[in-house]
Amino acid sequence: MRYFDEINIMRAFAIMAVISIHVSGNYTFMSPDNFLAIVYMAIGVISGFAVPLFIGISGFVLYNKYPEKIDLKKFYQKRLMSVLPPYIIFSTIYLGFECMRTNYIPIQTIAYKYLTGGWNYSYWFFIIIIQFYLLYPVIIRIFHYCNSRGRSFELLIGAYFLGVVYFSCIEPGLSIVGETAAPLLGSATQFTGYLFYFILGITVRSRYEDLLRKPVSDTLLYTLSVPLLCGTIIGIVSCLHTNYKFNIIQILPATGKYWNLLAAMISPIYVVIIFTLCLTTSLYIVSHKPAVFKVLEKIGHYSFGIYLVHLIFLTEIVRWISRFGFGWNNWLFFPITFSLTLILSTVFVELIQKLPYSRYIIGNTRQE
């Protein structure tokens, strides 16, 4: 089984983008006519590739390790044990924080939050990963069936439109009787919105050697900056629409009423453009090994653990630096908060991974 240094560098890009999303998300506390708020929105939009990239990498790595025949017992034991213990441990830590704030939490609420990643607003990602681990043997059979008939591209297109339907129609308007029924069903079906990226990862790995023989030209990279800029502007408009009640229909009468559909169709294309830039940059870093290579390599190895713990550090850092006047409206807020969160999370994971059975706490820090 081959190991890919560039995939680990891409993990580093993805986890740094996750932190960027959570730091830049503070624009919701700011006025929309503040230029810094627009900058935060742009950072958040561009960083939105983070979870799709992690999911794409999961498809790539799983196909690299389990391309055909799978021992289901060993597969499920290894894959689920790599994610379930850390998820349960840190969800329980957040449950403890919640118990310190309130006297009583109903049992059904506790169960619901464990099932949906609700103890931390970023843990929904782990629920999706668990779903893809459970479904991988089925997905890979479908992929092989389509690929053997030269229909893998059609499979990708089908997954793309499934995601468009989910995000434009089902997910925003899902309504079922009961307070938790709709969110629970939404969590149970959320993997359909990201299936395109998972199958994309599998497809890329199946053709990776051929792709490497056809490097992306500089001209194409420069050309990609145009749709990247357009997609970022569309994303900023979506942020204004969602968080500031920006009336898209009034401003764009021809497209405003179809905005959810338009955004759902553009988003995967926008993300794939960023994937291309990340992969090209990663290949360059791996081949030239600049000074930053070792740093990114370590961050990539620790990315799973950093994802688990970074919000704990981020919350405390924001609380601490606010005492020194570094609020949302300060231009130093983002670089200071981002850097401290990344550094402290990385150091924490490095210390924890020295403990016995650390993989059950922060995951495997030497992921393949």
Mean pLDDT of 119-141: 93
Nearest 5 degrees, angle CA 250-CA 43-CA 125?
95
Give CA–CA dist 146/154, Å, rounded: 8
Nearest partner of 134 among 193, 205, 58, 204, judged by Cα: 58
Mean pLDDT of 229-254: 72
Res. 179: pLDDT tops 70: no
**Which tens digits make up the pLDDT trace of 49-88?**
999 999 999 999 999 999 988 999 999 999 999 999 999 9
More confident residue, 134 or 98: 134
Contact yes or no for 10/53 (Cβ under 8 A): yes
Contact yes or no for 41/236 (Cβ under 8 A): yes
Residues 6+ apart with CB under 8 A from 62: 79, 136, 140, 201, 202
Unique residue bearing structure tokens 């393949």: 368
More confident residue, 202 or 172: 202
Q: How does 44-81 read in b/e, with b if 16+ C-beta sit within 10 Å?
A: bbbbbbbbbbbbbbbbbbbbbebeeebeeeebeeebee
Res. 224: pLDDT tops 90: no
Tokens of 10: 């891409």
Nearest partner of 147 among 236, 29, 68, judged by Cα: 68
E strand segments, the chain: none
pLDDT value, residue 178: 42
pLDDT value, residue 175: 40
Amino acid at 170: I
Structure confidence at residue 186 as a pLDDT band (50, 70, 90): low
Nearest partner of 304 among 363, 242, 226, judged by Cα: 363
Residue 234 buriedness (CB in 10 A; 0-12 / 13-18 / 19+): middle
pLDDT value, residue 257: 56
Residues 6+ apart with CB under 8 A from 23: 314, 333, 334, 337, 338, 341
More confident residue, 101 or 67: 67
More confident residue, 136 or 33: 136
Average pLDDT, the chain: 87
Structure confidence at residue 184 as a pLDDT band (50, 70, 90): low
pLDDT value, residue 204: 96
Mean pLDDT of 142-169: 92
**Which tens digits make up the pLDDT trace of 303-324?**
999 999 999 999 999 988 888 8
How many other CB atoms sit within 10 Å of the CB of residue 245?
A: 8
Mean pLDDT of 352-356: 90
What DSSP state is assigned to residue 217?
P
Res. 333: pLDDT tops 80: yes
pLDDT value, residue 1: 65
How many other CB atoms sit within 10 Å of the CB of residue 89?
A: 13
Res. 252: pLDDT tops 70: no
**Which tens digits make up the pLDDT trace of 267-294?**
999 999 999 999 999 999 999 999 999 9
pLDDT value, residue 177: 38
Structure confidence at residue 43 as a pLDDT band (50, 70, 90): very high
Structure confidence at residue 254 as a pLDDT band (50, 70, 90): very low
Contact yes or no for 337/320 (Cβ under 8 A): no
Give CA–CA dist 88/363, Å, rounded: 12
pLDDT value, residue 260: 77
Mean pLDDT of 247-275: 75
Give CA–CA dist 13/63, Å, rounded: 21
